[in-house]
Structure 1
């Protein structure tokens, strides 16, 4: 039985009054999405802003109803068996949502009570220690920094020991220390059997953590495979250098340019030689030339820029 199952899930938002007057249709945020996540898997859900990631998670958590299709968590339908499905999930949302009238420990006790859990102090203590919140246990939520509030959200999601953990942009805008602390703790839970569903714009995190990845574009799955297989589909090498000059258009249209840093895909040594020769011929001075292996960001950019049809592959 899969930990999470999306079966032909679609979500269409009705048009506004103004849109109806103009004869426009509603927004189809999710379009016939189907995939399964197996128990104990660390799964990545990637896509640009507006691709439908948060909409999928909202439907998974029962906060929004799908227009069509079915979603289940460990066999419990999120609509028909809401209470049981919700017990299986621990969701860390993007937004910093907290009750300003309680301290950290009280917030975790109250969250435990929502699931009918009594005498949960040992696990609360472990969460506080593991997430670097032990010295903030009696601090009011209003007194915490944004990063500390994010840690409390993670603790609240885990306080009832859910077998499935959903992390929606958990490290957005947080410092390096929190990112390392969070990933060490979540990786430990995953090794102990927890299923993890992650959405993130930090693709190096997804590459390092996720064994399998789905990529969404305009509400549809355009890639779904093991991370290692997705990396194999990219150019085998990337030529990277710095320059202050403008590149010729024939080269620039294939480049990823960030300030002075230019990155160009190259399948083999012959292509590297051709690129460098063309750059020299154009009179472009370069420095810090190096080669690196293609990463998940290269795959992501290629897929989002392309016109691929949705893949229905679940390996």
Structure 2
């Protein structure tokens, strides 16, 4: 069995009296996407900086493809690539010229840099914009070019630090599709994000940080299941009194009303519970405007387990 692409054990980082990381542990299997989540100042950026050899840890170890980041930083840098929150491109150059430039920076020359540029243009479907200056491209397309540039060296591990910050929903979706293709190429991705939907959609596994510690880890489904049972939420129509309807539901575990004023009951049997609630309401001829099953989301997990709430 091959070693994980990323191994973190007891990783700590202090700045004087401030503890940024307090002994975190996690592993990332090869060819998977890890979502690293947490509120501001939780330790996400510090973790990425250490893994990318930009900072030295105060304690613990971190390995990339089995190579320790402190003892073998040069070898680790050959294996990784990093994109920050904003595209690091030259807006006066075309998309293809940017890719060629980054290729030459990494030592490619002549036919090799042209070949790699062509491969990345095809891989990221950049043909229509390859000859356009980056400054003329949309935010989402610039981000796609930026991610393509990070892959010039064919890294084993790619760090994406909040890759969709500031993008509109359409551009964000396009970047998500781009990131998903990286898994198909066998590239291991560590993704930091503030968008819970982004992590839910892209990540094979998630590590949540809070105050420099790991507060939860697992697959998105595991974390959502840990947040509790689903709920049946219903909004009564104008001909019904919510308090009277709540009194009808005493056979269920009634929860606090939602932010929108909807009634909610715990639904341990999922749609079975919803069907039971509908039966009670129908027998009492309750006017119902809306009813449905709501499952816990990563937002619920995030608010429960971090300092964000």
TM-score (norm 1): 0.76
Measure how far apart 1:144 and its partner are: 3.4
2:96: which partner in 1? 105
* Number of aligned positions between the proteins: 283
8 Å contact kept, 1:10–1:29 = yes
Question: Is the partner of 1:57 in helix, strand or coil?
Answer: helix
Range that drifts further, 234-243 or 291-300:
234-243
8 Å contact kept, 1:87–1:115 = no
Measure how far apart 1:194 and its partner are: 1.6
Change (3 A) 1:92 1:304: same
Pairing 1:195–2:188 present: yes
Question: Is the partner of 1:186 in helix, strand or coil?
Answer: helix
2:120: which partner in 1? 127
Distance 2:24 2:265 in 1: 31
Where do residues 107-256 of structure 1 align in structure 2 (5 Å cutoff)? 107-118=98-109, 119-240=112-233
Measure how far apart 1:64 and its partner are: 2.1
Change (3 A) 1:95 1:267: same
Distance 1:291 1:263 in 2: 12
TM-score (norm 2): 0.77
Selected match of 2:73 from 58, 82, 91: 82
Asked which structure has the greater CA Rg, the reply is 2
Question: Is the partner of 1:173 in helix, strand or coil?
Answer: coil
Range that drifts further, 33-42 or 230-239:
230-239
8 Å contact kept, 1:255–1:265 = no
Selected match of 1:47 from 34, 38, 42: 38
Question: Is the partner of 2:222 in helix, strand or coil?
Answer: helix
Pairing 1:268–2:259 present: no
What residue ranges of structure 1 are gaps of 5+ in the alignment?
15-25, 277-284, 308-315
Pairing 1:10–2:16 present: no
Change (3 A) 1:30 1:292: same
Measure how far apart 1:256 and its partner are: 5.9
8 Å contact kept, 2:140–2:174 = no
What residue ranges of structure 2 are gaps of 5+ in the alignment?
237-241, 244-254, 279-286
Measure how far apart 1:305 and its partner are: 6.2
Distance 1:198 1:165 in 2: 8
Change (3 A) 1:256 1:104: farther
